[in-house]
Amino acid sequence: LIALEDLPHGKAYKGDVVKVKAGYARNYLIPEKMALYATPQNFERLGMVDPDFETEDQRVARMQRESSMSAREDKFLKEADLLKKYLKDKELKLWRRVEPDSVDALHPGMVTAENLREKLSKQLKIDLEDHEPIHIYTDGSSTTSNTINPLDFSEL
């Protein structure tokens, strides 16, 4: 398979060519558009060279591109992977009192990025810089529940 995005549990990163169990590919990765079958047409469509059929010159060029990552970028990726593993099973709990008769512009039960920064610092001992974004996604249920992704790893 050709990974179109980072696969769960660090199985592969975007652009990697990997082998996985047929059922995992057929029932999850392909339908969720997380991967494509590694066919010549898909390699051509993505502008990639099939690693099994690349020439020695192409292989050397690819290896040079991959190894040209600066030490700073390499350190950043290692730190991001470490943080991703640390946050994997963490849960952040926020409690808000909701006043049904409130006339405030902001709902008293509203959770802001500043609330999350404070709770991340106190509960999980994670201090984020002001330039590091916090994305809040509601799960769409009738009760308010938020999933917090303090760092966006989509560009890694």
CA distance 93 to 3: 33
Backbone angles phi, psi at 136, to 5 degrees: -115, 125
Q: Which amino acid is at 120?
A: L
> pLDDT value at position 118?
84
Query: How sure is the predictor about 151, in pLDDT bands with cuts at 50, 70 and 90?
Result: very low
Average pLDDT estimate for 55-71: 75
Model confidence pLDDT, tens digit, residues 20-56 = 999 999 999 999 999 999 998 998 898 888 887 878 8
Q: Which amino acid is at 149?
A: N
Q: Which residue has the higher pLDDT, 19 or 153?
A: 19
Q: Quick check: 96 pLDDT over 50?
A: yes
CA distance 95 to 146: 12
Is the whole model's pTM more than 0.85, yes or no? no
> pLDDT value at position 141?
44
CA distance 40 to 50: 7
Query: How sure is the predictor about 98, in pLDDT bands with cuts at 50, 70 and 90?
Result: low
Model confidence pLDDT, tens digit, residues 124-140 = 888 877 777 777 666 55
Q: Quick check: 152 pLDDT over 50?
A: no
Query: How sure is the predictor about 156, in pLDDT bands with cuts at 50, 70 and 90?
Result: very low
> pLDDT value at position 82?
82
